[in-house]
Each structure stands twice: as structure tokens, then as C-alpha cells.
Chain A
Amino acid sequence: MSRFLRRQGWVAGLFVLFLALLVVTRLIQPGYGAADFGSLARAVLPYAFAVAAQTVVVLAGGIDLSVAAMMALTSVTAAALMAGASEEFALAVVPFVLALGFALGAMNGALIVVSRVPDIVVTLATLFMLQGAALLVLDAPGGGAAEWLKALIVGTVPIPGLPGAVTDWIPKALVVLVICLAVVWIPLRRSRLGLSLYAIGSSDLAAFRSGVPVARTKILAYALGGLFAAMGGLTLTMSTGIGAPIPGPYLLASVAAVVLGGVALGGGRGGLLGPIIAVFVLRLVRTDLTLLAVDPNVTTIIEGVIMVVVVMLGALVAMRGRTP
């Protein structure tokens, strides 16, 4: 139990914080219910995928500044391809867009490994390139999305045997998020590849000496980041029904949630669950502040303060724990 708390304490703490925030939300707005939670989940979706993309890369000891731009490019690509096309055609579009994200991520990784230019510089460069490419695909918000795709994240999941009062709190968007992340993350975490990913983030010299193919693993980390970013891009198209070529505020949000989620920016430490809960926390805080009718400009200040305070407190607790 104490080992679980030591390893997962941060995630558990975040989850408690999230539940507390839900209670606070109910206090502020007694009518806050399942439908509102559903829209929160839908709003979180693109953020969550951006965070997942950033987490994989940061765990491997890198950073990806092109996350938001990649989401924009994949989103407009999907929207442009699906505009006016049949519902069945979308079945081919989804894998294509996912593969596109994977390839673009792999390109990031390969550039970093081969050129030995620092990751922050390479991904900054690709940020601009992808931004431009997105505008080439669609120069203004437009395109379309298949109906079944849009329906995928609207409403709740009826589970036979469970009363409606419970299933109302299981929005489809959340289920989609969990499935998409789990399908990639769980097999990865259980494979040697996942270990290698943590290994190169923790110490690339020790990893090299342990026989880990450092370059290949790094490329793969960026590729997985690209895959998650493409999922994020798709959810953007799914929730709006169109594609927008200008990147949203997902880059900084992803870094913020990674930090708040207990992932060491130096790499090697943390998991995927923490950042995902963190992104829910950050969005819920924003909802609460909006409900309280706080000036939107003040809202960002408060978000920044929360981040610093939480991370500082966490570091303090960790230090106390180390010297009994």
C-alpha cells in the first residue's frame, strides 16, 4: 500500500483534487449535472490527446512543440477529405489521418536523431512547416465530417444492467478517449518498447549500455506523439464538424498538464494517467471560474498560480517523504 502511494500518490492526489473540484462545481452551480459533465468531456477531448502526445515524448526525454500544429493539419486534412464524401469513405479517412500523424511524428524524431539538432529547435521548425501546410490544405475553416464520426462523441453510453442515473455520467467522449489511449498505451507499457521509452528518458547513456536502440526508440516516441496528435486532430473535426487551419491553444496546455500530471520534464518519470487527469482538472477550473463570472483575463492568471502552487507543494511533499 505504501509502495502504491509512493508510486501513484501524485495521480491519486490529482484524482482527489478533481473530485473536490466537482463538488465545488456543484456548490457553485447546484444544477451542474451529467449533461454538463458530458460537455466537459467533449471539450477536454482534443486537449487530452494533445497531452497524451506531449507525455509520450516528454517521458522519452524530449519535447514536441509541433503538437498543436500537427493537430491542425490532421484536422483540416480529415475535414477536406470528408467534405461531400460518402459516410463509408470516412472509414478510410480515419486510418489515413492517423497514419499521417504517425509519419509526421516519425519525421520529427528522425530529424532530431539524424541532424542532432536539439528537439526544441526541430519541433519549432516543424511547427511552422505544419502550420503552413494546414493553410495550404484549407485556407479558411471548412470541410466536413461524416455523421457517424460526429455522433461518436455525442451522448452517453447505455450499458445494459446499469441504471440510467449511472450511465448518464459516462459520456461517449470519455469512453472514446479511454479506448483510444488504452489501445496504444497499455500494450506499449507492457512491452520492452515501453521500458525502452522510459529508459532513454531516464538516462540515455545507461539505456545505450543496456542495449536499448536509443535512436529507434526516440523516433518511435515522436511517432506515437504524432499518432496521438492525429487523434486529437480528428476529435477537433468530430466535435466541430469542420476543420480549422489555425492551431488552437493546445501546445502550452499540453506542457502545463504534463507538468501538473507529475511527469518530469527531464524525462523518465511519470505516466499517462496523471497528465490526463490534470487536463480535466485544468478545464474544470476554467469552467468553475466561468461559472463564477470571473474576468477571463484573471482566469489565466489563476490557472498559472494553481500550476505553480500544486507543483511546488508536490515537490515539498516529495522532499519530506525522502528525509524521514
Chain B
Amino acid sequence: MTVTENPGQPNAAAPTPPAIELIGISKAFGPVQANKDITMTVAKGAIHGIVGENGAGKSTLMSILYGFYKADSGRVKINGVETEITDSHAAIAAGIGMVHQHFMLVDTFTVLENVILGAEDGPMLKPSLAKARKELQRLANEYELDVDPDAIVGEISVGFQQRVEILKALYRQAEILILDEPTGVLTPAEADHLFRILKNLKEQGKTIVLITHKLREIMDVTDTVSVMRRGEMTATIETATTSPSKLAEAMVGRSVIMEVEKAPATVGETVMEIKNLVVKDGQGVERLKNISFSLKRGEVLGIAGVAGNGQTELLEVLGGIRPATSGEVIMKGDSIDLTIKANAQKRRHRGIGHVPEDRHARGLVMSFKTWENTALGYHNEPEFSKKFGMANQKAMLADAQGKMERFDIRPPNPQLVASSFSGGNQQKIVLAREIERNPEVLLIGQPTRGVDIGAIEFIHQQIVKLRDAGKAILLISVELDEIQALSDRILVMFDGIIQGERLPENTDKNELGLLMAGVDPEAEA
């Protein structure tokens, strides 16, 4: 289809130009390429979904469209007109409204004050407030968006706060509404109400962009969907022509087939038994819903799933950095502490090593030197201590030197700070620290995220070596290839439950993809 654009002269016969056109958008934060040459078109009056895992670059892309960040390169067209969005002000002027994942509201203000902030009519508040009160009434009737205009925002529920955010955008005459992970903080009933509102808005001709990593939402409400993966837009499809499993596959990606040489596992007795584990987050939402499984000596148990389905919480509870709401974990006959009193050091003394998912935030102190990082968490052990609580720096340094040689960490200089290494070498520092303690159970989250191919191979070999030494390994990864290549047994998590268990030799990507999307292929068959 060829569209001749002539924004100067509206022509009734010409098709409506798309509401949003992004052309070749790129954005890097330091060495991380958050968006790579992204081109996307959203038709006017459509609900367009953007799916992708955490860190795939969805939020960055939308923040560029909203003028919060400036793209390194690329162009934006709104309603067919090339528009330069330099800041949020320009975005608002172009008719774009955004509901941020973390609400941009002033808690101590009333709903009304929040709505007019930045969109006041004059230097005095009174007329603006009166006008907004009337307008809010109208919007409430039109879109099922009732909120008490005089309520203090900090005192209303998150569901209502989100409505305030939507009202803010509508009050500014937004024709395009971007919602970033809008259901993350909502109860299912609130989420359903939100989707009714969105469909309502669509009927009124508004264009909606919905960012999420929940496939069910995409299937339920969107007309078209784009998939992002590692900063790139991998596909844009009509929702009706796709399926959750296809989307899950596109999100996770079919990268190069990974092969890991390994002997068949010699599985021993159960080391860790997880029983009826329930975890609620700060908002009271259940992140883990009654999970049970066991972990055996000499096996790699892989946990697959789209990010955000409870894997992080599982890892953190077992690692001792997040308390469980209820449930039990038994290790070699004794139950381990799942209360708030638990900590990672006690876990390590029980023989549980932990390679956290986010090495920057949890695995390393980026401004510390390598020898400090390799001792971290074990710095109270006798071999690293001297009298009167002094640290034995010499021992730490010697230990770090050895680890760097054995794990081929380059450059092998223990005096360098962690942030000066590449992602792969940073990960090796964490792995060296945890693996060389010879734990009974090793918890590993996303071992190869942001790691180059060469290091991936090495890391995989180390994991297999530990398994062959008769240890139990719990591997959590969003990379399906990695799960398939390393695991001796695969559990698929979806929405806080274990959706299914498979043996790698008896399953394939399609089946796993369906499980990851919350569909049980056996039940459907």
C-alpha cells in the first residue's frame, strides 16, 4: 500500500495517517544499547501492545516518545507530521499522554491538584481547579473513570491512583495514551476495569499503546502487537493472527542453538525439598502461589518462564534475601529459616550458594576491587579474618588471584574495580566466588545475561562441572536455549505457579512456549 502524505491539505479520500510512526530509533545508555534501530507504526484508534521481557527496551522506547529521554538517532511522526519531541512538554503538545509504571503523582496533593499540575489555565489556581472539577465530572461519566476529586492521592488505592494518571492525560487532551506495565500493581478486578476503560477510550477514537510482559493482556485487548527483544523490535503482527506461544517464542527468541557437552546426569538423593511456598509482595499481590518441588544431587533443575512470573521471588526466598509468606523448605532433613530473620550469610553456612539475577545490584559492589568482591559475603570466614575482627587482606588478595586464574577472568588483576570488567568477566567473578565455596546447592539466576558468547560457553562448562561433582543446581533463566541445553529436568513457571514439568529430551520449544504462556498443551489436547 502506498500512502501519499500531504499533511498540509487534509484530504477526505486519503487514508488517515498512522497516529504514531517511529523510524529508526536508537538509544544507548553508556555501553548498553537499549534501543536498536526501531521502526514501528501504530494506526489511529488502535490498541497496540508492546511485549518483551524486562530490560528489552520497551520502557525506554516509550520514554523517548514521551520526551523523557532523547533518542541518539531516529525520527518520530505523529499523525503523519514529523514531530520533534524534545521534552515532555512537546509530547503533551503533540497529544501524547503517558501513564508511567511508577506513578508521577504528588501524594500530598488532592486528585484535582494533581490533574491540573502543569496544565493550569492561569497564574491563579481557583479558576483552574473549578474548570478541572467540571471536566473531571464529564470524563468520569464518559469513561467510567470516577475518582473523588478532593481525595488526597496518597490515601487512595493504586487502582484509583492509576485512574488519576489516565485522567491527567485526558485532561491534557491526549489523543495517544501510553501505558507502561499498567497491571503490575493492580488486582485482577482492577485490571479488568482498566481494560474496559481502555476499550472505551478506543471507541472514542483514542490511540493506545500498552506496554506489558503479560501475554494474556495482549491477547485480550490489543489489535496489533510488537515484540521487543534485547533492544530490537523482532516482530509486529496483528493480534488475531498470533497465539501466546508464538509471542512467547518471539520474546524469548530463537538464538543460535547452544550445545553443551555433558555426560548423562547421575542423580542422587533429594537435597532440597520446597513445600507449598507462598510469597506476597509489598502490595499484597501473590507472586508465588503454593509452589512445591524437589532438588536432587547431581542434577541441573532448570526453571523456564517469561520474566516476571515469580522466578525472581523464588530465587530470592531460597537465597535468604526475601521472606516467604508461608510454606516450608527442607534441606537434608532440617527446615530452613524463611522468615525475615533469614539472611544470605546463614544460607551460605547451610551450603546454599547464590548467583543473583542482577549482578550489578546484587552480585557485586561495582566500585569495589575484585579481591574485595571475591571475598564479599565470606569476609567473616576464618581464612579471611585476623584477630580483633580485622580483615586478612593478604589472604583475600591471594584467593582472588587464584580465582582469576582458574576462571580465566581478564585482565587478571585483582586490584581492578568490578565496573572495569566486561559483563562476562563480571559474571565470572560472581561465579568463581560462589562455585569455589563448593556449595551443596547452587542457585543461579540468568547466568549469561549480557555475557559474550565465549564467556557463555565457559560459564556453562563450570555449571556442568559442579553438577558432575554431585551438587544440586537450580538454574533460572529466561533464555529457553540455555534451559534446554543445561537442564536435566525443566519446570515452567507462569503467574506464580509451576505450569508444568518436562524432561528436555521429551519436549520442544513449542511445548515449552505454550507452557510459558500459561497454556497446558496436554490439558488442551
The answer to whether A and B assemble together is: no
Residues of B that sit less than 8 Å from A by CB: none
User: Which A residues lie at the B interface, using CB under 8 A?
Assistant: none
